[in-house]
Structures are given as C-alpha cells and as structure tokens.
Chain A
Amino acid sequence: MTEVRDELVKKRYASERRFRFYGAAALALTALFLAILLVDIVARGLPAFTEKTVALDVKVDPAEIDPAQLAGGNYDKLVKDAFRAEFPQVTGRAERKALGALLSTGGGDALRQMVVADPALIGKTVSVPVLLGADAGIYLQGMLTDLTTVAGKATLNIARLEGEEGYVLSGDTSGESAEQQLGLTAGQVVRFKGGALRVTGMQNGYVRAEAILPPELPVITLPAGQWDSLTFSVPESNRRISDAQAVWLEDLKSEGRIQTSFAWRFFESGDSREPELAGIRGALVGSLLTVAVALALALPLGIAAAVYLEEFAPKNKLTDLIEVNINNLAAVPSIIFGLLGLAVFLNFFGLPRSAPVVGGLVLALLVLPTIIIASRAALKAVPPSITEAALGVGASKQQAVFQHVLPLALPGIMTGTILGLARAFGETAPLLMIGMIAFIADIPQGFTSAATVLPVQVFLWSDLPEIAFKSKTAAAIMVLLVVLFALNAVAIYLRKRFDRRW
C-alpha cells in the first residue's frame, strides 16, 4: 500500500519538475528570440543615429547670394565648388560628377543656416561641416564593403605603358617577381599621393594595372611606406561607391577631415527622398497628434460606456447583445476600421485625407472596445462591499460609483487604456486606408494637415531600395519601441501610484 503511494508522490513531483522545466524553457526561448530581435534592430539602426560630415573651408561668394534673399542663395554650388577644389587633379567631367555625388544634396544647408544667422559672413571664408551623401555615409560606416589597407612594404615603380592603356608596376630590381615583392593581386587598389590604380593582373613578371585616378607623371618611383594597397571585399560593380570615390573618401579620412556626429537631423526633419536628410520628426509628430485625438475621444467615451454598462445598465437582452458586440469589435481586424473611416469620415463627412484627426477617429474606434473591456474588468474587480458601504450610509448609486468604485478601478482602467493606446500607436493598417501612407516631407502643423505616423513611416522606408534606408527603418523601429516602452512604463507607474491609495 505505502509503496504505491510513494510512487504516486514521486510521479507528482516529477510532473511538477517537468512543468517547471517547460515553463523555464519557454521563457528562455522567448527571451532568446527577443534578444536576437533587439540586437539585430539596434545593430542595424545605430548607424542612422550618426551622420558623416566633411569639414570644408568655403568662400562665401557674394555673387551667389542675394543679400535680400539670404536663404535663396546657391549654397550647394559654393559647397560643391569648395569640395572639388580639394581635389584639383580631378578634371574629367564624369570624375567631377562622381566627386560631387559624394556630398548630400542638402550639403549646403549648414552653410545657409550660418549665413542667414550671420550675413556678415558673406565674402569671407568659413569652415563649415558639409553633410556627405547617404552612399558615402554608409561606405564610411563600413556597411558597403570591408576594406583592408596594407602599407606598401617594398619600393614600387609605376610606368605608364606606351601606345596602350594601362600601367605596369614593378618592385626594385632584385630577383623576386614583382607580384611577390609587392604582394598585389588582381582587384586590389594601389593608392599613392597623386593617383590610384587598380590591379588587373600579371604579365611577364610585372603587375598590370589600370588607372582610377591617373597620376600626372608617366613614371613614378615610390619607396616603401609611400603607397598602400586597398582590398575591397565587394567588387566595384556591386556597390554604390566606385573605387575612385572610395579612394577620395579614404584620403579625406586619413587627413582627418571626416567627422562623425550625432544625427540630430534624424529627430528634427521630416521624410525625404535622400536617406541622409530623412528624419522621423514628421512621423513622430503625426503619431502624437493622431494618438492625442484617439485618447481624447476613446478615454472618456470608453470609461463612460464601461461605467454605464457595468454599474447602471439594466441587465437584459439588449445589454447582453451590446456586450457581445463590444467583445466582437475588439477582435475585428483593424483594416476594417480603416475602411469604415474611409467610408464614413472621408467620403461621408468629407474630412481631410491623411489628417491626424481622421486617423485619431479611426484609432479611437479601434481601441474603444479594448478600453471598455479593460475598464469593465477593473470596475468588476472592485469589491461589492465598497458599493454596499457607500449605499449603506445613504450615498446615491452615482455617488457610490464615482466617489468609491471608479477611483478604485482607475489603476486598472489606466492600464487598459494605455495598453490600448500602445496598440493604437503601433497600428498601421487602418491608417493606410485613410491616406496616411503618403510621402509627406513636411512636419504636420495641426490636426488637419497631412501627416503620417511612425509605424507607417517604418513601412514606407522598409520598402525603399537604398541601403541607407534600411538603417533608417531600423532606427525608426527603435524610436517606435522606445515610445511604446515609455507608454508601458507610464502605465506601470500609474498603476503603482494609484494603488498606493490603499
């Protein structure tokens, strides 16, 4: 008899241990995936929070700037000219174009701001940080290709071939082959002061090369240390920065002219076609406006509906039906709410397209059931003895509810509401239906101006082919997550705060 019991007890403990293990394993797996996701997003997104500028001395030419219209001056030209002046040996039209392409189209903005702030700068030479283009930026962040730079160990002789394209490279005259002496292989770039060559192959013990940046002299001798070889892991045809551009950037970098700074621009500007100029401020403001409208509508309506249904409504078929429908509404796919918003708010009421007010209305409808359900649960959780106590001393039903039940239910209502809002904040689908998916470069000025929201911005950016937008996407996701975490933190704080009122 006792043996059987022992077995049962053992079984019971074993089962409990197994259950604990499953629970811990599930938790560990979830934590692992979450960690992978977060690490991946952060790793991808971090480059978007920095920007690369090149320090240039720009002469503010009065010819390009009309003092009456300071902001209208051709600052881009000034900046580009100053940049090209850094590379006097670059003369070809295509090369000059490639060089100019390294700068952002918004490269002159910093100079414009300086001059507008201080018109006395006209005619002077000012040192200004000029924003590099997105491709140059991500190249410098090492996201386009890996680069290995090896300083030349031996003397390098360069000779331009007569009669045909290209150069031959050789070491000093001792016996070893040039290939071994110089340690060069095809595809590598040889960089030296005044030029750059790309190794194409071997011929007769010499290294053959073609010009990237042709040197002026036909024959050059470079002692060890005066040249170096660059190895790119990605061939030129597969990246958006050519070898020549890469060499220019490497030159600037080794001169210490490239500066990395925190990209305040990312938080200060709206969307742009140029990745380096694109920011999330427009989407963030749009999100805040939209959620503000949603909160202003859904919170009072939701609490009022919950209080009425829970405390005052007669319990009959009609209220049962309403309850079932509210529960069903909470489960309706959000795009349906978008369609509703399109049909009712845009087409019937003629409200403006892409506007936060319409987005807010739609999101209010979306989170209303959630808020009602959470609020009802919170109200239901208040012990009936409190209501009885209040009624017992002669409080009216309304007094009992508003002075005793509702304050006690408030933490729960707050939590439900903020979680509902967090859902609204991350909602994309219904907003697509009411036109909040448009490309909007301006920061919305009010509830009726065209806007987009953060998750839609993420969606828009993730769709773009430029590599630079990939990190923008991840960075926007990071901002979205931070906002959501902040909302949840507020929810927890409020719950704790109000719970302390005994």
Chain B
Amino acid sequence: MNAHVPHQTLVTPEKPRALASGQFKVTARDVDVYYGEKQAIKKLSIDIPDRAVSAFIGPSGCGKSTFLRCINRMNDTIPTCKVTGLIDVDKHDIYDPKIDVVQLRAKVGMVFQKPNPFPKSIFENVAYGPRIHGLAAGKTELDEIVEKSLRKAGLWEEVKDRLAQPGTGLSGGQQQRLCIARAIAVNPEVILMDEPCSALDPIATARIEELIDELRQNYCIVIVTHSMQQAARVSQLTAFFHLGTLVEYGDTDEMFTAPQEKRTQDYITGRFG
C-alpha cells in the first residue's frame, strides 16, 4: 500500500502533556530487529517519557510487541533474533555487553499477554523477584514488600486471607493483577505490558486500566494494545506502528483527533488493520 517508507528520524512528541519531568526514560535510535532473514523493525527511533503511559498501536505483525520486548531484552531468548541500533534506558545502552541483562529486567518489568503466574502460592509469586534479587533482609521485610506490591496492584483486599493458595487458582483478571504485583515487587522503573487485557473480560479490563492509570504516578509504562479505545483511555502518548516502522508518535488526544499521517488516520478510522 505504501511504497515509500517515510524517513525515520527522532520521533518525539511535540507537546507531551505528561512530560512533567522533561526527561525521557527510554530512548531508541535507528533500531533494526531481524528474525533470521526477516526484518521486523526498520530504523525505529523513539523517546518515551517517564511517569506516563505510552501506548503502542498498530495492526498485527507491525513490530510493536517486538520493539516492546527489545526494551527489556526478552528477545534475547529467541536465538534467531538480532537487534541493532541504540536503545537507552536512563541513558544507559541496554545492549552494551557490560549491562547485566538480569539487572536490566529487574529495572524494566514486564506483564505478558496471557496471565502467567508461577504455579506456586500467591505469596511466592510476588516474593520470588525480591528474593532472587535479595531485596528483602528478612521474612518481615519480604512480607511488607509482598503486601505493598499486592496493594499497589489492587489485589491485597481480595487475597490477603489466602496468600498460601495457588496463584493459578485466581480468576483471569486477578491473575493478571498478580502478575503486575509480581512485576512491581522488584521496584522496576519501567513496566512493559504486552496486551495485558486481551485475555480478560471488560470488567477485569476496566480494573487493570484503572490500575495502569494509578501506576502512572510512579512508573514509566509502555503498553501494547489492539484496542484503540483502550489506548485512548489509558495512555497519554500513542505510537502507531505499521509494517515495522513507527509512523507517528504523539499526544494521544491529538493522535485520535488530528493524526498527522494518512495511514494513522486510516487505521484509527478502521479503514485497515
């Protein structure tokens, strides 16, 4: 449909409302991602601000999840995946060989498309991260971290009496909030969410969206979503991906009311995708 690929330069929202601190948490420059021979992302550059929700939208296969997984190097687990270019988190190149990927993932947490609690107790699910990172000095401190994380994830009141029960016994929405609590427990600065509500019913989705809105106060959140309504509801900034390129990135309200690019408009109005 689009023969020409628009030149990709630094894509920075012109009027980021949420950019209170004026500091970008995640910056990417000229990122190319290949799966074997296939190029999944082409020359992508983006600046993502702290304490705001950035939504990645776009049709399936456009590379938005791929890019998301580059930010905490989850793509390392795919042997054929190759990433070039520069991705900084807090001005540190995360693909620097000196960077410890384990430390990076503690700092850049992730919530997955399908709720994937460990087949262990609710407590163990949340306590696992702090434990392996040595964040808690003792049992009481660990208890505190677990309670704090569950409270932040809005799950504490529902599960406080059954922390020893399996996390897999919770409902889908509760499981996803448990996964968010698990991600929060290791004190991340960035939380990546890969379609966190796609497996949930509307009520559970609404709860997660509320939660995301609350978490925005403290974290840099990047969320991939297929639902444009969700992007409009929860995000301050929206990035539109298409065929491995970042087409447009900007203030969510503007994006949905007056997109700069025709392709964005076509997608938003439902003409393709």
Instruction: Say whether A and B bind each other.
Output: yes
Query: A391, B117: Cβ atoms under 8 Å?
Result: no
> Cβ of A44 < 8 Å from any Cβ of B?
no
Give A121 Cβ to nearest chain B Cβ, in Å: 66
Contact of A502 among B77, B102, B114, B120 (CB under 8 A): B120
Contact of B112 among A385, A404, A501 (CB under 8 A): A385
Which segment, of A86-94, A129-137, A393-401, faces chain B? A393-401
Taking chain A's interface residues, is the majority helix, strand, or loop, or is none over half, making it mixed? helix
Q: Which residues of B contact A390 (CB under 8 A)?
A: 118, 128
Query: B118, A392: Cβ atoms under 8 Å?
Result: no
Give A396 Cβ to nearest chain B Cβ, in Å: 5
Mask for B161-197, Cβ within 8 A of A = 1, else 0? 0000010110000000001001101100000000000
Query: A391, B183: Cβ atoms under 8 Å?
Result: no
Q: Report how far A403 CA is from B183 CA in the complex, Å.
A: 17
> Cβ of B5 < 8 Å from any Cβ of A?
no
Q: Which residues of B contact A408 (CB under 8 A)?
A: 119
Q: Report how far A245 CA is from B128 CA in the complex, Å.
A: 80
Query: B109, A392: Cβ atoms under 8 Å?
Result: yes
> Cβ of B10 < 8 Å from any Cβ of A?
no
Q: Contacts A388-B74, A389-B179, A502-B168 given: A394-B116 contact, CB under 8 Å?
A: no
Contact of A394 among B111, B114, B120, B129 (CB under 8 A): B129
Query: B105, A399: Cβ atoms under 8 Å?
Result: no
Mask for B105-133, Cβ within 8 A of A = 1, else 0? 11001111010111110000000110011
> Cβ of A193 < 8 Å from any Cβ of B?
no
Give A142 Cβ to nearest chain B Cβ, in Å: 60
Q: Report how far A386 CA is from B74 CA in the complex, Å.
A: 13
Query: B132, A314: Cβ atoms under 8 Å?
Result: no
Contact of B186 among A383, A388, A389, A394 (CB under 8 A): A394
Query: B77, A393: Cβ atoms under 8 Å?
Result: no
Q: Which residues of A contact B132 (CB under 8 A)?
A: 393-395, 399, 403
Give B117 Cβ to nearest chain A Cβ, in Å: 7
Q: Report how far A394 CA is from B118 CA in the complex, Å.
A: 14
Count A interface residues, CB 8 Å. 21
Query: Which residue of A is nearest B105, CB measured?
Result: A394
Contact of B102 among A314, A388, A396 (CB under 8 A): A396
Query: A391, B128: Cβ atoms under 8 Å?
Result: no
Q: Which residues of B contact A386 (CB under 8 A)?
A: 116, 118-119
Give A360 Cβ to nearest chain B Cβ, in Å: 35
Query: A391, B77: Cβ atoms under 8 Å?
Result: yes
Query: B119, A502: Cβ atoms under 8 Å?
Result: yes
Q: Contacts A386-B118, A404-B118, A408-B119 given: A394-B106 contact, CB under 8 Å?
A: yes
Q: Report how far A374 CA is from B186 CA in the complex, Å.
A: 36
Contact of A391 among B105, B118, B166, B179 (CB under 8 A): B105
Query: B120, A385: Cβ atoms under 8 Å?
Result: no
Q: Report how far A462 CA is from B168 CA in the complex, Å.
A: 55
Q: Which residues of A contact B109 (CB under 8 A)?
A: 392-393
Q: Report how far A404 CA is from B186 CA in the complex, Å.
A: 18
> Cβ of A74 < 8 Å from any Cβ of B?
no
> Cβ of B22 < 8 Å from any Cβ of A?
no
Q: Which residues of B contact A403 (CB under 8 A)?
A: 128, 132
Q: Report how far A267 CA is from B112 CA in the complex, Å.
A: 59
Query: Which residue of A is nearest B133, CB measured?
Result: A394
> Cβ of B6 < 8 Å from any Cβ of A?
no
> Cβ of A315 < 8 Å from any Cβ of B?
yes
> Cβ of A177 < 8 Å from any Cβ of B?
no
Tell which of A386, A403, A502 has the most Cβ of chain B within 10 Å. A502
Q: Which residues of A contact B114 (CB under 8 A)?
A: 385
Q: Report how far A390 CA is from B118 CA in the complex, Å.
A: 8
Query: Which residue of A is nearest B104, CB measured?
Result: A394
Mask for A381-423, Cβ within 8 A of B = 1, else 0? 0010111111111111001000110001000000000000000
Query: B102, A395: Cβ atoms under 8 Å?
Result: yes
Q: Report how far A404 CA is from B116 CA in the complex, Å.
A: 12
Query: Which residue of A is nearest B126, CB measured?
Result: A393
> Cβ of B72 < 8 Å from any Cβ of A?
yes
Q: Report how far A51 CA is from B4 CA in the complex, Å.
A: 95
Give A177 Cβ to nearest chain B Cβ, in Å: 91
Q: Which residues of A contact B128 (CB under 8 A)?
A: 390, 393, 395, 403
Give A67 Cβ to nearest chain B Cβ, in Å: 70
Mask for B140-155, Cβ within 8 A of A = 1, else 0? 0000000000000000
Q: Which residues of B contact A501 (CB under 8 A)?
A: 119
Given A392-B74, A395-B132, 18 more A-B residue pairs with CB atoms under 8 Å apart are A314-B79, A383-B116, A386-B119, A389-B112, A389-B179, A392-B110, A392-B111, A392-B112, A393-B109, A393-B129, A393-B183, A394-B105, A394-B106, A395-B102, A396-B102, A408-B119, A501-B119, A502-B166
What is B's interface to A at a CB cutoff of 8 Å?
Answer: 72, 74, 77, 79, 102-106, 109-112, 114, 116-120, 128-129, 132-133, 166, 168-169, 179, 182-183, 185-186
24 pairs from A and B in contact (CB 8 Å cutoff): A385-B114, A385-B116, A386-B116, A386-B118, A387-B77, A388-B116, A389-B118, A389-B182, A390-B118, A390-B128, A392-B72, A392-B74, A392-B110, A392-B111, A392-B183, A393-B185, A394-B102, A394-B103, A394-B186, A395-B102, A395-B129, A395-B132, A403-B128, A502-B168
What is A's interface to B at a CB cutoff of 8 Å?
Answer: 314-315, 383, 385-396, 399, 403-404, 408, 501-502
